[in-house]
Structure 1
Amino acid sequence: MCQNFGSLHLSGPLKDMNFSVPEGSGVRLIYQFTAEPPAVSFRATGEKDGILDIVAETGVLYLNGSLDWETKAKYRLQVESLDEKGQRVKGPYTVIILVEDINDNPPEFDQLMYSGVVRQNSRPGKPFMYVHATDRDDPSTPHAQLTYSILHHFPNPYSTMLFQINNVTGAISPSMTGSHYLDPQKQDTFTLVVTVKDMAGMTMNAFTGSADVVITVKESLWKAPPTIHIQENSTQDHPVNVSQVHSNEPDVIYELFEKEKLPRLPFSVDQNGVIYVTEPLDREEKNAYSFFAIAKDKEGELVDKPLQISVVVEDINDNPPVCQKALTVLEVQENEDAGSTIGTLSATDMDEKDTLNSRLQFKIESQVPAVPASDLFFIQQDTGMLQLISHSLNKRIASNYSLKVLVTDAVFQTICDVQIHVIDINDQIPIFEKSDYQNVTVAEDLPVGTVILEIQATDADEPLTGSSYIIYEIKEGDPNKVFIIETDPETNRGSIRINKALDFETAQVYNLVIHATNPEPLVPGVQYNSSSIAVLKVFLTNVDEPPVFNSEAYIGEALENIPVNTLVMTVEAYDPEGDTVRYSLEGDVKKWLRIDSSTGKIYTASLLDREQEQAYEVQIVASESSKQGKDSTFIINLKDVNDNPPRLAMNSALFFCYPLSGGERTLIQATDDDEQKFYSTFTFSLKDDMNTRNNWEISKINSTHAYLSPKHTNLEEKVYNVPVIINDNGRPPLEAEINLEVNICKCSSEKSCFIEVQREHSWPSTGQAIGILLGCLFIKKKKEERDKPLLLGYLFYLTLCFA
């Protein structure tokens, strides 16, 4: 048991004891042992060191001197009691004095001044040096718990410090600002005043020590090398050393990773930071690479930010020229002047653009045929542009030339084939076989597209070219383009067709002047003349034409409840010859309409009904005295009126299973044959009679549905007639009273009514019996085998009913 030194007046019998005494100097009483007869005195031996003892007569254990925890932290004494003769009565007992430490030692740095080196761009938080201090006080107490901090930073050009210190370990590292801004070119030396406090720095009474830290900033070793240039298709043994990176930290692990996704990265790095290309490169496959080099510590953490490595693949002349086309085909007119450009031969080289490796030069090796001369053509050496040397091409001498062109770069050469077609010039005009095609008589009712005459001109230029193709145009006599002329491209024969409907009443004769021309311009000095012009006179004959309506279709609208003989539409037709027109109707199957034969006014002949036909269509026929004319369509769209009362939209019988248990209800639905806008909302109610009100109630669900339910469970097993009133929302609204037949009956396990109750002690009606049968058929298929005897029984019962 350890007694606190503050209890100075404690006393007790002699026994083994522990005491805790703060270090320091002066006389202090620790404890008083009480003597038990025959003991009259006490004796202490052991580690008294001249400062611990006991008063023999009184048994008071005391301190007479200074305790120092740093010198000795524990004293061990043996105490015994003696009688009057000095003989031991009790003991010896062990008494241990534990010296309590007090904070009486300041912390001290291992060095008065520290020096360290940091590299530019070092990673923030990565220590580059440590400071260390010690405290002689008890390390198990806060007295020796030390905390580090930076007191001063010389110089400090930024608002935040460039360095930071771990307050527990004393590790010094660049701050985020320092990692970014440290630069030996701007400031290569810094002095830090670092302090250390004991008591974990948590109290104002803590002791403090300090030391100077001189930091030298050196240029970063971790730099991206200059762009690496590697010549393609190298024949060296691979891998080949192409560059190297150096980390600021020792014993790092170097790695490469791709900036872009590649099928393979043909580079590697060893543990000395040497970068290798692992295989020959092909500039035509990829002309540049960009990837990153990184350095990691043994824990896999980055020690520096990634470096971007750039590689340029240098070209060598390893690709021959390639003709852009297997055969380059060009055209030239036979009358072209010397120096005229014919076209350009295109060739490519996959070597690097705009270098000597891809520079191409052109030369004509041969010309076939070599007539009328062997050097009719010239090719520009550096562009591949072909030109005529002389004005000597003649299609009749040679219509085609084949050239072999040699294309070379500094190492390779290729032959490209060129074919030059000599095009006939347009030096011949079209000549009509007839200058006057006389007269043509046609009826005015010939259909559009009918050919009324074929004409022919010829051209002596090369067939099937723009120089010989003939375009026929009516230049005079047809301002409204009633006629059109089409050319057969094979024969140059022209077909004069009707382009617009003919009308004798508009024009009886056309005096046409027709010109024949080529799409290709004539050469200078050649002009069209009268040989390329023909005339034709077209006479029209009158035809008695039927009447024609002003419109192909007429559409009217009327309410379905308009009175008979109401005018709904007036139609109009005219006769081209001015004869009187009479009107009639066809297809009026419902006999709803009639038409005034003289005026074209259409009236209702009977009542209309939108529910039978919403859009009613008939044919209107216009005729004259001699023949029937064209017809037109008349469609009358009938607008709805509210002329249909509501009705039930369900056919199935309503029933409830007997006996009623309460809460039953069944769904009823209303509909209306009128348009939706007249019955979008229905109201449901029961007839106002006492029997109905006492037994039934109805509740609306939505605009078309409601629930019917019994008001109580005392209804009998029989058929009830429940009068329901349904109103629509038409204008005016219509009302229908419907007697719902509701069966209260015994039900099968499938909740279907299987025996129709007798109606006033009579047999069920045929419809009721069929309802019973249908109810039976609702039995689930999986229970059919089990329930066959029961179903046969129901059928037997029905047979008796019908009998």
Structure 2
Amino acid sequence: MVPARLCLLCLFIPQAFPGAQPAEVYVDVPENYGGNFPLYLTKLPLPRKETEGQIVLSGDSGVAAEGPFAVDPESGFLLVTRALDREEQAEYQLQVTLETEDGRVLWGPQHVLVHVKDENDQASGHQATATIDVSIVENTWVPLDPVHLAENLQVPYPHHVAQVHWSGGDVHYHLESQPLGPFDVDKEGKLYVTRELDREAQAEYLLRVRAQNTRGEDYAETLELHVVVMDENDNMPVCPPRGPAISIPELSPPGTKVAKLLVEDADAPGSPNSHIVYRLLSPEPEEGAEGRAFELDSTSGSVTLGAAPLQAGQNILLQVLVTDLGGAEGGLSSTCEIAVTITDINDHAPEFTTSQIEPLSLPEDTEPGTLVTTLMATDADLEPAFRLMDFAIEAGDVEGTFGLDWEPDSGRVQLRLLKNLSYEAAPSHKLVVVVRSVAEPVGPDPGPGATVTVTVLVERVVPPPQLDQESYEASVPVSTPAGSLLLTIRPSDPMSSPLRFSLVNDSEGWLCIEEVSGEVHIARPLQGAQPGDMYTVLVEAQDADEPTLSTSANLVIHFLKAPSAPTPTLAPVPSRHLCTPRQDRGVVVGGPRGDPDLAGGHGPYSFALGPNPTAQRDWRLRALNGSHAYLTLGLHWVEPREHVVPIVVSHHDLVWQIQVRVIVCRCNVEGQCMRKVGRMKGMPTKLSAVGILVGTLIAIGIFLILIFTHLTLARKKDLDQPVDSVPLKAAV
């Protein structure tokens, strides 16, 4: 009989590798499997990193499964512990979770559907009998123990790692790697690794070896070989990328957390190769400083503030040495950098550059809006928002006479005058200006606002003398003889202090002025003057009581052509008064006296106001006829006083100027002028009247004293006489 070997094992285990949990895993298991148990079905995607918990396998109802399934906690493989019978149960729905002792789910649930494949193990209705001779040989197709290979192994490749053997003949070995790896199998069943392995690229491989016939059919179940790549310290610690600077407020207390280094080491987690320790390289502690500015936890990599103080605006670069192997010799290291910026806080109050300035003097007629002084303040903070300042007058300005003008970010404040000053009301002002930070101050003791004291002295102003006109003009023929009166310069207020007049720039010496009266005369013949020319001199008037007070006005002389005949004289205009506010009244400027030309019909006179701007503004002149003109007020209100109105008279080629005196006054309802009553000449003054009255009272008192003294003495004499010496009155 020829020995025959009958292999009835048929195992097909398609394995699902879920892309994302919790996708369901499908597994096919042949029924009545006759191989070795436990049978590894598929690797579950359990968490790769170490997690404290226990694997829980449950059935359809969610309770713990007591069936033929289990999960290997070391490799994460789902396995079956005995043969399955499809006729008993065709499918198993399992659920795998990773839970803590108190039942909290850390991972999962992962659903697994196990399908039992049908085998022809039931007899049919028609049976046949056959005789088969079976020879029993030793089974060499046995599971393999896991293989541990060092990464970066320096050996010749391909390198033999394991061997499988099928005891039968005519066999071909087929190798599959999950995931795909550098592994191969030869015809003798020797397994090789073809190049160096990298644990960081792939830490584990699952190799499946099949023994197949020439038709590609499996002789037996697939053998699995678990290859574990052993770690070597071939990866240095990797520092995180240097990010933006970390901001730490100044005055932060020691122990304030700055940063925590998250260094990665690609070597095996939990191994000495990935055990990182930290050491601070810089900054070094300053000489004489108590402690370091920064502290570093060598185990966790946490950086905190130390005891040494830091200043706002500092930019510090921390350098940290990170070493694996727990800092032991031979460990790999890297230098990590952390940028730290100490940010500013509003812990400084603004201060003036000086607490008190010299007294300032302002005339009492200073215009409102005038700049008095500029104050400067500084703030030691660095942040622009903390340097914004607010100013205020804290004391000394109850009436609001002064004000402040500033830009919040400039540090400069202008003290300006807002109202008119009065020496009589307040000869001086002592102002207290305070400066404060706009932002809320922080810190241990920012202090109150700083102040500066400004003293403003008010100067009494005595107004300078004023003339009745801003400028003067006169027209004279070039033939005017010396000694002729041109015009009179007068003060605007007749009651003001007396003035002293003088001519400043009379270069030709043609004019002279009376020092007291202000009358301007022709000093000498106008030799060299041409008709149409102008001659300007400056008239200066000084206060007789205060020589430092003076004023001046221009006097413009217009030279006219010498008349061919004597200049006619106009009828004198008596002083008239006009009422202000204006009424319907005027002054008649009268015609010529003894003018044969006008009488003979040789043309009229023309009248016009002089070139003085004030006269042209305040007065109006219109012609009545060929010999007279009518002068009225040009404004509704003209200052009540005596006015001298210049009027230019022309007749043919002759032009000359006359001065018309008009008294402007307030009037009663009847149009009569109400004038101020001055002291009458020869009448006593108030002081003399008071003296006379007091003298009279004193004289009366003296007389009364003499009379009473005489009566007292007489009475005393009568009392001293004897009683019998007193005459008795005769009885009637």
TM range (shorter): 0.3 to 0.5
Higher relative contact order (CA 8 A, sep 6+): 2
Larger Rg: 2
- Alignment TM-score, normalising by the size of structure 1: 0.30
Q: Which has the higher strand share?
A: 1
